[in-house]
Structure 1
Amino acid sequence: MGLFTKDIKTMEDMFLHGLQDIYYAEKQITKALPKMIEQATNRDLSAGLRAHLEETEKQIERLEKVFEKLGKTPKGVDCPAIDGLIKEADQTAAEVDDKSVLDAAIVGNAQAVEHYEIARYGTLIAWAEELGHDDVVRFLTTNLNEEKATNTKLNTIALRKGVNKKAVA
């Protein structure tokens, strides 16, 4: 079922598709994060990415609870957006020789992923509320709040923990 195909006939269909999209995205992120952790040389960045990997696994568990409450089997649908963001991160990492610059690139690429997730979760919460799925809103809101917090932590690592300054030096 593509995002703009005839398979999506109702708002309920759109909501389910959005859930499948973010479920796929979270699964792909758990595959991509270990590589980013391995590439990062800044301790704060490595630790932050490791913590977010654990958090992402919990987010997947929450999404599985959402599917369960909706009486649906958890499954993902291809998400070209997250695939593109991960591909771009891999390509950038392959092109950067300076480890300090790579750390800054990792932060930037991770923030692009966080912004995608923030947008998706915000939309899903609005749709869940409109559709009367109040029993799943708290799971989605917890995930959204964690994504926002991760984005803030990445900002801190880039600006206050010196990743950007070291990359420029």
Structure 2
Amino acid sequence: MASKTLKDLFIHMLSDIYSAEKQLTKALPKMARAATNPKLADAFRAHLEETQGQIERIDQIVETSEIRLKRMKCAAMEGLVEEGKEVIDEIEKGPVLDAALIAAAQKVEHYEIASYGTLCTFAKQLGMNDAFRLLKETMAEEKATDEKLTVLAETESNQEAAKK
């Protein structure tokens, strides 16, 4: 990783989450197609649009901060996406798959929340106020998505899956 300064570490982590978001834009349509609950499929489609906006925010940070992202692949997101793919491949379409998809999606959300939280802290420490504002906006979206998934799981998907 060779980060010598906090700014180097910030750039590395921003590059990592940029890769993560790009990977997620490929995974979310597959998750939406696999979901049987229409609300869950809609949630995945809505999150895809949100994710595209989050990528645009990172692009804004890069432009306004005059930094260059590193070309890298987020290994953590790669693993989380693979877990989601395994769930789709191994569980029969229906309520149990929906419950598993929510669980997989929440793992992704928690990774993103942790990443954006750290990036917010670094941006604030580095006096990168515009970056801080944009990252905080994204973190709020990630938390809201996680909450929506929790509500969907508790009020519908998990109850349906428990009947199986």
Q: Same fold (TM over 0.5)?
A: yes
Whether contact under 8 Å (1:121, 1:140) holds in the other structure is yes
1:77 aligned counterpart, secondary structure? coil
Whether contact under 8 Å (1:24, 1:75) holds in the other structure is no
Whether contact under 8 Å (2:54, 2:138) holds in the other structure is yes
- 131-140 vs 25-34, which moves further: 131-140
Which of 119, 122, 126 in structure 1 is aligned with 2:114?
Answer: 119
1:119 aligned counterpart, secondary structure? helix
Identity of aligned residues (%): 47
TM-score, scaled relative to structure 1: 0.93
Deviations 1:95-145 (A, max 9, x none): 111511100000000000000000000000000111111121110001000
Matched, 1:166 2:160: yes
May I ask how many residue pairs the two structures share in their alignment?
163
The corresponding residue for 1:61 is 56
Whether contact under 8 Å (1:68, 1:74) holds in the other structure is no
Whether contact under 8 Å (1:64, 1:74) holds in the other structure is no
The corresponding residue for 2:6 is 11
TM-score, scaled relative to structure 2: 0.96
Whether contact under 8 Å (1:22, 1:120) holds in the other structure is yes
Unaligned runs of 5+ in 1: none
Distance 1:97 1:41 in 2: 11
Whether contact under 8 Å (1:8, 1:14) holds in the other structure is yes
Offset at residue 76 of structure 1 (A): 4.6
Aligned CA RMSD, in angstroms, stands at 1.1
Matched, 1:51 2:50: no
Unaligned runs of 5+ in 2: none
